[in-house]
């Protein structure tokens, strides 16, 4: 695996069009090496299907492929999905506490502040989908 690659997982080619390849990624492969996999509920969904525009031309349905994303894009995804919402929530909680708002109300409002954030992320999902690009290459068995 290259140093610039953040994640490399294996999947199976489902369908190929002129511009995209649809790959089914088996979630067990994502969680198999993690020590917390038994306590984490992220892996409950067993499969994920993604469309990839950057792929080698010799692929056909049923082929095993390695799906990769760059480290920079992986870090950006973590920033948007975890770090920014966390900072928003904690900042609002501290600000409301300093303003003398009751703790239960400050906590509730800080949690509710995440709703508009994730609605915004949902609304710009097409732009984000263009930003985060996966690559697929055939794995020789």
pLDDT per residue rounded down to tens, the chain (141 residues) = 455 666 778 888 888 887 788 888 876 544 555 655 555 555 555 678 888 877 777 788 888 888 888 888 888 988 999 999 999 999 999 999 999 999 999 999 999 999 999 999 999 988 988 888 888 888 876
DSSP-based three-state secondary structure for 7: strand
The CA–CA distances, whole Å, from 9 to 14, 68, 108 equal 15, 7, 38
For 4, the token pair is: 């610039």
Q: Which domain holds residue 27?
A: 5-138
Task: Provide the domain count of the chain.
Answer: 1
């Amino acid at each position: 695996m290259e140093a610039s690659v953040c994640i490399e997982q294996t999947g199976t080619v489902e369908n190929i069009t002129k511009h995209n390849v649809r790959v089914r990624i088996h979630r067990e492969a994502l969680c198999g090496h993690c020590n917390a996999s038994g306590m984490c509920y992220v892996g409950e969904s067993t499969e994920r299907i993604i469309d990839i525009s950057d792929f080698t031309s010799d692929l056909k349905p049923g082929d095993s492929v390695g799906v990769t994303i760059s480290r920079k894009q992986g870090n950006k995804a973590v920033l948007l999905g975890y770090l920014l919402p966390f900072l928003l929530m904690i900042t609002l909680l501290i600000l409301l506490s300093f303003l003398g708002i009751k703790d239960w109300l400050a906590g509730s409002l800080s949690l509710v502040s995440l709703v508009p954030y994730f609605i915004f992320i949902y609304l710009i999902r097409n732009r984000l989908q263009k930003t985060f690009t996966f690559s697929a290459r055939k794995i020789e068995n």
